Amino acid sequence: MLDLLPQALSLIFTVEGLLVLTFGTMLGIVLGALPGIGSTVAVAMILPFTLTMSQAPAILLLLAIYAGSVYGGSISAILINTPGTPQSAATCFDGYPMALRGEAGKALGWATMASVVGGLASSVVLILAAPQLAAFALNFGPIETFALIVLGLTCIVSVSEGSLIKGLIAGVLGLFLSVVGGDPLTGEPRFTFGSFQLIAGFDLLAVVIGVFALSEVLLRASQRDEANVALIDFRGIVLPKLGEWRGRIGGLLKSVAIGNVIGIMPGTGAATAAFISYAEARRSAPTRANFGKGEPDGLIASESANNAVTGGALVPTLALGIPGDAITAVMLATLTLHGVTPGIRLMQDNPILIAAIFTGFFVVNLMLLPLGMLVSRVAAPLLRLREAYMLVVITLLCTLGVFFVRGNPFDLLVMAAAGVIGFVLRRQGYPMAPLVIGMVLGPTLEISLRQGLIITNGSFVQFFTHHPIAVALILAAAAMLLLPLVRAIRARQG
Amino acid sequence: MKKLKTSAIVAAGLALAIGGAAQAQDFPERPINLVVPFNAGGGTDLLIRGFAPHFAEALDGDVFVSNTAGGGGTIAAGALAGQRPDGYQLGYFSITVSTIQPQINDVPYGLDSWSPICSVAASPTVLFTSESSPYTSIEEAVEAIRAAPSTLLYGSSGPGAITHLTAVAAFKGLGVIDDVRHLPFQGSGPALQGIAAGTIQFFGDTEILMQGGGLRPLVVFNSERLASMRDVPTATEIGIEPPLNELYLWGGFFAPAGTPPEVVETLSNACGEAIASDGFQAFAEKTNTVLNYRNAADFDAFYRAQYKANGAIIEAAGL
């Protein structure tokens, strides 16, 4: 791969290539920051514009939009507690409290640095080991996915603020919401009460935006005293000083590794990676006591992991020609349109183009830093609105975003209901993060479990006797659950 | 004053009458909405976005594309069925959305909810195995299935999808449906990963899939052998009987039932013109789309025959 670098660079460092990368990254950041327009929609929106371009710029534009949108989601998560994309949901946990404390600029600084490092590291992995990793990814079938999701569900424990029981109730509620709709294996409608609209289930984004953003609007509106001052004091990104990284590097590297590995695996994705990474940091970081109250380590965990996923997701896409999710599927469609046939021979047949994609991806991640600072500087004046106006703006953005994704008015009702229910539950002390984790992981949990049972002819025991990777993941999940208990018992004895 | 009012009413009535008469002749006077029943960015979305400008040119009017996703396309179809049949909203529905879903799910539309406008694309389906698998022909595969019942798996992109029905048509037609098991995935990508990893042995889809490599075609559900795979037998040749012997992934435009015949004709002709245009032909070649135009009358007959024929496959699939 490295020997092709000069040719790859000559494809990227053209006027068109650089323009496309700059413009694409900026647009990606803006689209990602707008609630509702996730990475998939952002990439799909741009696809028609690539038709007139030549091969390399077309795919570079999509890569720039992809990486930019994953990072952009953190801006709205931190500044208005509205995850621009579900993969930034975990960024809200510590980002928003920091912003409320008056450290919005610093919070975005940490998020930006973490995103850049996560993205860069994943592109290096992509350049060095894509074919080998893709071969490894094939070992990862439904049973291994099931075990990974079980590990992911243990996050619920660590993000349950205050009461573990209330957290578990919220988590189960999220899991329950995820089974509403057509049965993924038979197509039969479940829990739809005869409503045709519910056959498609609850849209994840409508629920996430409802329980995070809309319920926050309602909470703010119900505390009427401070409605005349600006909610968040934000004057642009403040990058962390070198000294402030002390003690955080280990956590950063761990999160990057988690994001990379999860990105390579099929059927999981950035939201899962962010949650697992956050939970792991919360379990092991020296600053864990401050998590949920505005701890930079929490931000680093979530943002470095979700950006590390982007490079990982490209591994099977480019090395095997098999897309792992909707975003990479759109990218492969773009390649087809430009006369490149995706498939197992993609890398052998188009080595220079693939090298250009890999290096272009590295450049995009470098550009996140200056362009992220620029975009948030432009967004800053918006946040100086008085709180009352700000709440109206947030509500409008949420409504537009949710409607835009599927064009289905029913999703607006779901968002409104989720907002009201989220508001009531939060006032009663139920955390909303477990609910979202349940909804994000629920569908994959169910499908992988049932697929696994079909493969083993109904034998759950075979999950443990024939699948060492799955066993390792289940043991990790057990450790996640038991270690805090052991620690608590020790503390009591000591 | 009163006189003025009367004449105003007369004028308004006259305008309405003229407007009504002009509607059929001057159709379209407003932009036409092409509804894609899936998210932006998918294969169907891409096809329709490529089609829209040529359709607009043929109609000499404005055309815009919108997306309503969910429920495997049924949410969009359910929303369109029963809308005002004025020809300004057309849905692009596949074989599954229009003929399979209404027979397996409780959706608010059925056989008679539509005025079919035109078909756009149709590709025959093919049953594949992995290139590294030991089965070099469909006969060997059937033998292996019989030798070890309930051990081999076929994958699909979801229950009721064309990928599911292709495998069902093959194994039901060959009498071994009870000896193979079905493993549904969420979409074709994960299913292809499954076949590469050896989790599943069989997968059915259109021939376009072959270009990705790594697959070996076993049987073609077409009326004749395909030029791209001369050695692969058709389903009829290996003894699969109608209606299971031919299966196409097709799609076309539907308007709500009751659309005026002259509007249907205008739309249908414009559709044919757009498909025949050099621009769209070039687009289809780039995207490996097999174009297949049928005008409104032919498409209506085809759609009704398919609705009936697919009932047999649905029954075989146990849906």
> What confidence tier does A132 reach under pLDDT thresholds 50, 70, 90?
confident
How much is the pLDDT for B2? 45
pLDDT beyond 70 at A337: yes
Q: Is the pLDDT of residue B63 over 60?
A: yes
Q: Which of A182-191, A295-304, B72-81, B268-277 has the lowest mean pLDDT?
A: A182-191
Using the predicted structure, report yes or no on whether residue A128 has a pLDDT greater than 50.
yes
The radius of gyration computed from the CA coordinates of chain A, to the nearest angstrom, equals: 22
Contacts of A266 in chain B (CB under 8 A): 189-190, 193
Q: Which residue has the higher pLDDT, B51 or A269?
A: B51
Confidence of residue A148 (pLDDT cuts 50, 70, 90): confident
Q: Is the dihedral of CA B196, B208, A39, A212 positive or negative?
A: negative
pLDDT band at A179 (very low <50, low <70, confident <90, very high): very high
User: For position A494, what pLDDT does the model report?
Assistant: 67
Q: Which of A391-395, B74-78, B274-278, B279-283 has the highest mean pLDDT?
A: B274-278
Tokens 């539907």 belong to B254
Contact B212 A321 (CB under 8 A): yes
In 3-state terms, what secondary structure has residue A124?
helix
Please indicate whether residue A28 or residue A158 has the higher confidence score (pLDDT). Answer: A28
Closest CA to A267 of A328, A336, A189, A203: A328
Query: CA nearest B197 in A: which residue?
Result: A138
CA distance B311 to chain A (A): 16
Residues of A in contact with B153 (CB under 8 A): 454-455
Most confidently modeled of A195-204, A435-444, B260-269? Answer: B260-269
- A62 vs B contacts (CB less than 8 Å): none
Residue-wise pLDDT for A424-463, tens only, equals 999 998 988 889 888 888 888 998 999 999 999 889 999 9
What DSSP letter does each residue of B7-53 carry, written as one string? HHHHHHHHHHHHHHHHHHHH--SSPEEEEESS-TTSHHHHHHHHHHH
Test A320 with B193 for CB contact under 8 angstroms.
yes
Band of pLDDT at residue A194, cut at 50, 70 and 90: confident
Determine whether the interchain pair A196/B67 forms a contact, defined as Cβ–Cβ distance below 8 Å.
Answer: no
Q: Cβ B107–A196 below 8 Å, yes or no?
A: yes
Looking at the predicted structure, is the pLDDT value of residue B43 above 90? no
Contact B41 A189 (CB under 8 A): no
Please give the residue of chain B at the shortest CA–CA distance from A407: B68
Is there a contact between B69 and B37 (Cβ–Cβ < 8 Å)?
A: yes
Q: How confident is the model at residue A334 (pLDDT cuts 50, 70, 90)?
A: confident
Residue A372 Cα, gap to closest chain B Cα (Å): 26
pLDDT for position A398: 84
* Dihedral pair phi/psi, residue B175, rounded to 5°: 75, 20
The boundaries of every CATH 3.40.190.10 domain in chain B are 124-229
Instruction: Give the mutation candidate from B45, B46, B151, B287 for the A interface (greatest A CB count, under 10 A).
Output: B46
Quick check: A313 pLDDT over 50? yes
Task: Assess contact for B63 and B34: CB atoms under 8 A.
Answer: yes
Average pLDDT, integer, range A16-30: 92
pLDDT bin (cut points 50, 70, 90) of residue A405 is: low
Please give the average per-residue pLDDT across A11-22, as a whole number. 89
pLDDT the model gives residue B20: 44
Per cent of chain B over pLDDT 90 is 56
Lowest mean pLDDT among A318-332, A355-369, A473-487: A318-332
Pairing relation of β-strands B153-156 and B181-184?
A: parallel
Give the range among A75-79, A138-142, A157-161, B111-115 with minimum mean pLDDT.
A157-161
> Averaged over A273-292, what is the pLDDT?
87
Residue A232, classed as helix, strand or coil, is coil
Q: How confident is the model at residue A488 (pLDDT cuts 50, 70, 90)?
A: confident
How far is it, in rounded angstroms, from Cα A249 to Cα A246? 7
Mean pLDDT of A217-235: 73
Of B39, B45, B186, the CB nearest to A267: B186
Which pLDDT belongs to residue A224?
66
Higher-confidence residue of A46 and A461: namely A461
Closest chain A residue by Cα to residue B194: A141
Ranges A145-159, B129-143, B255-269: which has the least confidence: A145-159
Mean pLDDT of chain A: 85
Q: Do A329 and B74 touch (CB under 8 A)?
A: no
Answer whether residue B16 shows pLDDT above 50: no
Using the predicted structure, report yes or no on whether residue A25 has a pLDDT greater than 70.
yes
pLDDT at B55 over 90: yes
**B156 near A CB under 8 A:** no
Local confidence band at B287 (pLDDT 50, 70, 90 cut-offs): confident
Q: Complex ipTM, two decimals?
A: 0.76
User: Residue B3 has what pLDDT?
Assistant: 47
Q: What is the mean pLDDT of residues A232-244?
A: 85
Closest residue in A to B160 (Cα) is A187
Per the CB < 8 A criterion, the answer to whether B231 and B138 are in contact is: no
B65 vs A: CB within 8 A: no
Report whether pLDDT(B221) > 90: yes
Mean pLDDT, rounded, for B79-100: 92
Q: How far is A377 from chain B (nearest CA, A)?
A: 30
| Mean pLDDT across A137-141 | 80
Write the CATH number of the domain with boundaries B30-122+249-317: 3.40.190.150
Decide if B189 and A322 are in contact by the 8 Å CB cutoff.
Answer: yes
- Asked if the model's pLDDT at residue B48 lies above 80, the reply is yes
B228 touches chain A (CB under 8 A): no
* Mean pLDDT calculated for residue range A410-425: 94
> What integer is the mean pLDDT of A343-356?
81
Contact of B196 with B219, CB cutoff 8 Å: no
Q: Which of B 246-285 lie inside 8 A of A, CB atoms? A: none
How far apart are the C-alpha atoms of B191 and B141, rounded to whole Å? Answer: 19
* pLDDT the model gives residue B18: 44
Are A45 and B192 within 8 A, CB to CB? no
Residue A106: the pLDDT is 93
Asked whether the predicted pLDDT for residue B8 surpasses 60, the reply is no
Give the number of A-B residue pairs with CB atoms closer than 8 Å.
Answer: 147
Q: Does B294 touch chain A (CB under 8 A)?
A: no
Q: Any alpha helices (H) in A140-290, and if so which ranges? A: 142-153, 155-159, 164-179, 204-209, 215-222, 249-264, 270-284
Mark yes or no for CB contact B190/A189 under 8 Å: no
- For B154, name the nearest residue in chain A, comparing CA atoms only: A455
Q: Please report the pLDDT score of residue A40 as a whole number.
A: 76
Domain B124-229 in this protein, CATH class: alpha beta
